[in-house]
Amino acid sequence: MDGIINLLKPPGMTSHDAVNVVRRLTGIKRVGHTGTLDPGAAGVLPICLGKATRVSEYVLGMDKSYRAELSLGQATDTEDAAGQPVLTRPVPSLTTHGVELVLRGFLGTVSQIPPMYSAVRVAGKRLYELARRGEVVEREPREIQIYKIKLLKISETSILFELDCSRGTYVRTLCRNIAEKLGSAGHMSFLLRTAVGPFLLGSAVTFEELAQFAEAGCITKALLPLDLALANMQAVTVDESQAARLRNGLAVTLRLKTSDGELFRVYDSSQAFLAIATADREQIKPLKVFI
């Protein structure tokens, strides 16, 4: 059983917990997620089964979309509603124009410092492990990309917005930074991930639906093809002799307009997904072979 489940993770559980539930429902041991989603958050969490675990790194690198709520007036140590208050500031009078102006200031390339309550490693230790011991260490800023940020709703003490961003973006930290630019303090009080690359909220399956498929013996209805994770790679088709070479780890010559190092998804003559390959001059070399 090989493929990807576009799971709708409920709030209140870790991504690791979600993997364990999928493993139990499907009976498949080789299961992995494609990047953590905060325990308090809900939304899209692609889960890879069987051979699809070999493409999880490509899903991890995909752009993400979110819907988030920023509550103003109080900052927390975790930058979300689960944390302890650390700072209180008055909330200024908010206007749609003023908030939109601040949000637009975060478009493009943004330098972001990972929060202490995160899985980033510093000197071999997870930051959240240090944070739980009361330690605060210096973190290197990281560049992220904010492609779109749109105000949806505004109230006296909160704003709701949508966000399209690159991998590695901490929406909690973005909320804190937005609050500071608005002249207040704040924390993320709600987060819904609406997309991971081509994996969309509208087509995500719940645990209840997955359990029904499992009970009916048709869990494959929830599986998406593993090459969906490679949709941003150029597709090439090879003949049977070329397919045989690739299966044996050998390069094949293809006259393609490409640059060295470019990745391809390769299909055999029956259009079965065969391999991920990389370009090297006029050849492609297999990186990962699937059949």
Claim to verify: residue 114 and residue 184 sit in the same structural domain: yes
Q: What is the pLDDT of residue 145?
A: 97
Query: At a CB cut-off of 8 Å and minimum separation 6, what does 101 contact?
Result: none
Domain end, chosen from 228, 250, 277, is at: 228
CATH number for position 273: 2.30.130.10
Claim to verify: residue 68 and residue 183 sit in the same structural domain: yes
Q: For the chain, first and last CA: distance in Å? A: 14
Claim to verify: residue 205 and residue 169 sit in the same structural domain: no
CA 67 to chain centre: 14
CATH number for position 145: 3.30.2350.10
Does pLDDT of 139 surpass 70?
A: yes
Claim to verify: residue 21 and residue 108 sit in the same structural domain: no
Claim to verify: residue 86 and residue 31 sit in the same structural domain: no
Claim to verify: residue 73 and residue 139 sit in the same structural domain: yes
Query: At a CB cut-off of 8 Å and minimum separation 6, what does 211 contact?
Result: 25
Q: What is the pTM of this model?
A: 0.90
Quick one: how many helices (H) and strands (E) in the chain? 7, 19
Determine whether 38 is an active site residue.
Answer: yes
* Catalytic-role residue among 2, 17, 38, 77: 38
Claim to verify: residue 171 and residue 70 sit in the same structural domain: yes
Q: What is the pLDDT of residue 117?
A: 66
Does pLDDT of 289 surpass 90?
A: yes
Q: What is the pLDDT of residue 114?
A: 73
Claim to verify: residue 184 and residue 75 sit in the same structural domain: yes
SS3 114: coil
Claim to verify: residue 106 and residue 88 sit in the same structural domain: yes
User: Mean pLDDT, to the nearest integer, of 250-273?
Assistant: 88
Claim to verify: residue 103 and residue 76 sit in the same structural domain: yes
Full DSSP string of 171-214? HHHHHHHHHHHTTS-EEEEEEEEEEETTEEGGG-B-HHHHHHHH
- Domain span at residue 270 reads 233-289
Claim to verify: residue 58 and residue 150 sit in the same structural domain: no
Q: How many structural domains comprise the chain? A: 3
Does pLDDT of 240 surpass 70?
A: yes
Domain end, chosen from 124, 158, 189, is at: 189
